[in-house]
Amino acid sequence: MRKVTFSMSVSLDGYIVGPDGDFDWTGPDEEVFRFWIDDIRGVGVHVMGRRLYETMLYWETADEDPSLDAPTREWTALWKPLPKVVFSRTLSSVEGNARLVSGGLAEEIGRLRAEPGEGEVAIGGATLAAEAAASDLIDEYRVMVCPVLVGGGIPFFPRHERRVDLELLETRTFGANVVYLRYRVAR
Q: What is the DSSP string of 26-81?
A: G---HHHHHHHHHHHTTEEEEEEEHHHHHHHGGGGTGGG-TT--HHHHHHHHHHTT
What integer pLDDT is reported at residue 170 of this predicted model? 97
Whose CA is closest to 20, among 163, 154, 133? 154
Q: Which one, of 5, 9, 110, lies nearest residue 48 by Cα?
A: 5
6 touches 123 (CB < 8 A): yes
Is 4-185 assigned to CATH 3.40.430.10?
Answer: yes
- Cβ atoms within 10 Å, residue 150: 20
Q: What gap in Å lies between CA 104 and CA 58, rounded to an integer?
A: 27
Kind and range of the H or E element at 7?
strand 4-11
Element containing residue 142 per DSSP (H, E): strand 140-146
Q: What is the pLDDT of residue 158?
A: 67
Is residue 128 within 8 Å of 49, Cβ to Cβ? yes
Q: What is the pLDDT of residue 19?
A: 87
Instruction: Print pLDDT tens along the chain (187 aa).
Output: 899 999 999 999 999 888 887 778 777 689 999 999 999 999 999 999 998 999 899 999 998 999 999 999 999 999 999 999 999 989 999 999 999 997 899 999 999 999 888 899 999 988 899 899 989 999 999 999 999 999 999 888 767 667 889 999 999 999 889 999 999 999 8
DSSP label of 186: P
Per-domain boundaries in the chain = 4-185
